Chains A and B, each alone.
Chain A
Amino acid sequence: MAVTITIANEKGGVGKTTTAVNLAAGLALYLRDREGADGRVLMVDMDPQGHALLSSAYGQHDVPASESLSALLVESPPPSIQRMIKPSDHHPNLYVLPSNRNAMVEAARLMPTLMANETRLTNVLRAVQPQFAFIVVDTPPNTGDLLVNALVAADHIIIPVEPSYLGVSGLRELQMSIEQVRLHFKPELNILGYLPTLCEEQRIEVREILEQLEQRYPHQILPLIHKASDLAYAHSSHMDVFTYKPPRQRMAGQLASSSRATQEYALLVETVIERTGK
């Protein structure tokens, strides 16, 4: 059965989409030699902005509403998820669930009026859980049914945190949302880790905040992701960073290249594999 990892933070611009895209691509690369479901990764973009799909399946990022994630969330009963899942552009074992931007905005507006509006994503993903090793879910930067659905569907949560005053300020609200999900839906929901992103360690504030994070959440701080132009340029090239900066010769099991961004995300992938027991 797939391990579902949701990338969440109610603050925008902290690197959720970057993390979702590169984690999904990194997992796909790591698992590419495994047969069948053990080697497949699915990415789901719950953010109406749809930025995750720009980097992984550019041609699929604005399919008709009836063939997209929004139909799965708002229609009762939902259509078959199986016919919507498409392969990504750069990795044969990475699949995406396309979304339609306008339809997702509409879905976010409609969902509070629907029955069982918190568990819709869980229910549609259930049909394909046996077909994947990992499902990575990107989320919008606000509290709402789209985020709640992603939290309820998750087995683990990765929380990207920009180590700045404003970056940390959004953590408390997210933690309260997670507590509510644990209380009402999923007591076993696990915070896999806090991922410091956009790190610039030459700033004292950053170092101080990182120390405090380590004190507050011991053994839950994931390897740092530094601010890097490779990450931004990969997005604008409609690629993940592993595809944007590949090694000269990719050996078996090798993810990273000379680019620090690839090395840091490769380490994140290995950490996720280790902590999820896959």
Chain B
Amino acid sequence: MPPSSKKRFNAFEDFPATDSNRKPLQSIADKPAMETAVERIERLKPSEMLPDRFQPRRLLPVHIRAPFFLGEIDCYQAASEWLSFAQQDSGVKEETEHLLNLGSSFDTHGQIKPITGSWVDDAKGNFVFLIETGERRFWAACLQYVTQKSESEPLLRVEVVANPTRQRQVIENRHAEAPSAVEQACEVSALILAELQILPDANLHDDYEFFRQARAQRMPAGLWDKITPIMQLTRPRMVQLLNILQFPSPLLELADRFRLPERVLREILGQPQSEWETLVRQSIQNSLTSDDIVEHIAAKDEKKSTSIEKSTRIGPTPERNALRSLRRFMRVFRKIDALQQSEILDSLADELVINKQAKETLQIMEEFISLLNARLKRR
């Protein structure tokens, strides 16, 4: 208890007499949110970034995509599995080699173009940088990190974009590298869906189902006019590309990986669905063109009509196999000039001699030549 003889001052003596909570003053004009007009380049680690799962250009093999986008493996584990898979698949190997070259160019020349994207939050409340453009640079850095077994994560130049768009993504893809037919189909689809403001569903198991939606949409007036300048293709051409998405997803993956042309896929689509897989695989194995597919189908139809008469025959005979192979051999040569023919024949001769097949081949060819000459003379 304070001594009563000492004077005590009022703590509030400097305050105004009435100090009740005043009403807010008249508001001044609302200031709009300040839009950052200046670009900012930052450096992020690949582990702070995430590629766009619904980007039309698909880089990761399908069996790695699912666990990666589900968060079961990180980007470096995905890169490691990708490299392992590349040892078994020539299409994948070519892609990874391109990316590794790109990654090594970062060491030599630095990263020239920044990756663009925006910050989003994941389900756990953490922020992650979602890539809009530059996924190839991302994977190049991851593959390089895994290959070189670096101690510290690489730092990639990124630019935060306020409003990422599908259109920018497609334009960047087309400028960077010529897309495959399947990629082009996905690009057309992605642009259509973006214009119709149809967003991808993260719960989709099959990413291609998102792109297939475009085929079922009613196109409002003017939509094709918006897409044409970006794709630089005519409307009929874009419709042809969209039709590719009729293939089941495993075949789309194959066609994308081995960059089958649209014309080949179009011819295959014209066949019964039960034959699609066989034709796709044959196209990949034998590097068939669309004309080859047509001839193949024609030969097959011819075979079918004769097999009705010879119903006991189950499979192709050695004669037919040999004739088919000889026709294919001749087709190759018909399409090239004389100089190239000479070069190829020279190379084939070397190959047969090295493999000790030259004598046997010569005997068979000499007999065949004599038979051909005999028939031609009789004419």
Contact = CB atoms under 8 A, between A and B. Distances in A.
B332 interface: no
B11 A168 contact: yes
A83 interface: yes
Interface in A199-242: 204-205, 209, 212, 216-218, 220
Contacts of B8: 205
A165 B9 contact: yes
Given A184-B28, A187-B28, A82 B36 contact: no
A169 interface: yes
Contacts of B197: none
B125 A95 contact: yes
Interface in B60-106: none
B28 A40 contact: no
Contacts, number: 80
Nearest to B1: A204
A77 B2 contact: no
Contacts of B9: 165
B38 interface: yes
A216 B24 contact: no
A93 interface: yes
A191 B25 contact: no
A80 B119 contact: yes
Contacts of A95: 125
A209 B24 CA distance: 26
Interface string A93-136: 10100000000000000000000100100010011100100000
A188 B26 CA distance: 10
Contacts of B42: 79-80, 83
A126 B33 contact: yes
B2 A165 contact: no
Contacts of B36: 77
A184 B27 CA distance: 9
Interface stretch (B12-20, B163-171, B289-297): B12-20
B11 A191 contact: no
A249 interface: no
Contact of A212 (B11, B14, B20, B125): B11
Contacts of B1: 204
Nearest to B27: A187
Contacts of A209: 11
Contacts of A93: 125
B125 A82 contact: no
A36 interface: yes
Contacts of B14: 169, 172
A127 B118 CA distance: 11
Interface string B31-60: 001101011101010001000000000000
Contacts of B363: none
Interface of B: 1-2, 8-9, 11-12, 14-15, 19-21, 24-28, 33-34, 36, 38-40, 42, 44, 48, 119, 121, 125-127, 129, 160
CB-based closest 7 A-B pairs:
A82-B127, A82-B119, A168-B11, A187-B27, A187-B24, A77-B40, A165-B11
Interface of A: 36-37, 40, 76-80, 82-83, 85, 87, 93, 95, 116, 119, 123, 126-128, 131, 164-165, 167-169, 171-172, 175, 182-184, 187-189, 191, 204-205, 209, 212, 216-218, 220
